[in-house]
């Protein structure tokens, strides 16, 4: 069993903690660190027998048993992660960054996790990146992708202060990862906060511009969807893959839906669930490497 800690007692950190605690993951949540003493996340952690601190990463390093922690999940913000990474740099700890800070290599479990198992820190890109980059990678595995554009539509209610504070980082980080991980020559990302009531679950649209209508595109996408769904059960295609002529090229259109598992967050918050599910998959694999 590998001891881990979660920094950030908001929605994402709390959902991740509960996912680790409720499953046979090979991980043990030794501590949760936050900065709001009244947060529901810290209160739940205490009730579940997890050591807590409201003094952030400095409080985490002062907790008894900190020396046994091998993996830290950072579910704060891009700005806060920069300081957290500096504080933890002297320690023998692997970091899984759920913010768009992107200090470590981008990791999307279904695409490139194996390549980065030796990295001290990995970055989980963004919720939109975790949902859409696998599709871009699937298309680029069978034919070159000159341009890829993704639109992530999430319920406004599921966008907390951290998400709203990181909108610019979301678009920039996701676009970079579409290229470096997805394999597109050029990428663009758009996020839409949908105010509809009742809230709609996460929807993602992926457009890829390719030269030829390769016959293997749809099958590659369907295989990739199955790989992601192995660790994000609510991840699915909304309709068959479309490949349509567009001038001298072809446009591949993929519509996705991500429904949350409802462990701590509502089912419509698939954007948060896919981040915690992907981070958990990474943590499980890193634990095998460090054991």
Of 185, 188, 189, nearest in space to 140 by CA: 185
Longest dimension (CA), the chain: 64
CATH architecture type of domain 127-268: 2-Layer Sandwich (3.30)
In the residue annotation, 127 being an active-site residue is answered as yes
Is 77 annotated in a binding site? The answer is: no
129-138: pLDDT as tens digits: 999 999 999 9
CATH fold for the domain made of 2-124+274-290: Rossmann fold (3.40.50)
29-45: pLDDT as tens digits: 999 999 999 999 999 99
Q: How far is CA 277 from CA 171, 173, 242, in A?
A: 21, 19, 28
pLDDT score, position 3: 98
- Tokens 């599709």, located at residue: 135
Both tokens of 248, joined, read 């001298």
What's the pTM?
Answer: 0.95
pLDDT score, position 160: 76
Number of Cβ within 10 Å of residue 23's Cβ equals 12
- Tokens 């095998």, located at residue: 288
pLDDT score, position 113: 98
Low-confidence ranges of the chain (pLDDT < 50): none
Is 11 annotated in a binding site? The answer is: yes
Is 271 annotated in a binding site? The answer is: yes
Residue 167: what are its φ and ψ, rounded to 5°? -60, -45
pLDDT score, position 291: 66
Cβ pair 170, 159 in contact under 8 A? no
pLDDT score, position 25: 85
Average pLDDT, the chain: 96
d(CA 59, CA 67): 13
Is 194 annotated in a binding site? The answer is: no
Is 223 annotated in a binding site? The answer is: no
pLDDT score, position 101: 87
Name the catalytic one among 50, 71, 108, 127: 127
pLDDT score, position 107: 98
Domain chopping of the chain, boundaries: 2-124+274-290, 127-268
């Amino acid at each position: 069993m590998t001891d881990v800690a979660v920094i950030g007692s908001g929605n994402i950190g709390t959902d991740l903690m509960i996912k680790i605690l409720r499953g046979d993951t090979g991980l043990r949540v030794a501590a949760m660190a936050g900065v709001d003493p009244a947060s529901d996340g810290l209160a739940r952690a205490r009730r579940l027998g997890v050591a807590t601190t409201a003094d952030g990463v400095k409080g985490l390093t002062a907790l008894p048993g900190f020396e046994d922690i091998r993996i830290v999940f950072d579910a704060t913000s891009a700005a806060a992660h920069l300081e957290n990474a500096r504080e933890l740099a002297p320690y023998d700890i692997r970091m899984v960054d759920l913010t768009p800070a992107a200090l470590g290599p981008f990791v999307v479990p279904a695409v490139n996790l194996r390549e980065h198992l030796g990295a001290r820190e990995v970055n989980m890109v963004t919720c939109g990146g975790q949902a859409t980059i696998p599709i871009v990678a699937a298309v680029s595995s069978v034919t070159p992708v000159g341009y890829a554009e993704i639109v992530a539509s999430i319920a406004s209610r599921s966008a907390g202060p951290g998400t709203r504070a990181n909108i610019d980082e979301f678009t920039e980080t996701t676009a970079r990862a579409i290229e470096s991980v997805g394999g597109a020559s050029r990428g663009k990302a758009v996020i839409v906060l949908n105010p509809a009531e009742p809230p709609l679950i996460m929807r993602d649209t992926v457009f890829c511009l390719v030269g030829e209508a390769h016959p293997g595109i749809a099958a590659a996408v369907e295989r990739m969807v199955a790989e992601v769904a192995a660790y994000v059960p609510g991840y699915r295609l909304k309709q068959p893959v479309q490949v349509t002529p567009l001038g001298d090229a072809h446009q591949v259109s993929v519509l996705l839906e991500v429904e949350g598992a409802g462990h701590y967050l509502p089912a419509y918050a698939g954007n948060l669930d896919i981040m915690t599910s992907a981070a958990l998959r990474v943590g499980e694999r890193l634990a095998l490497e460090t054991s």
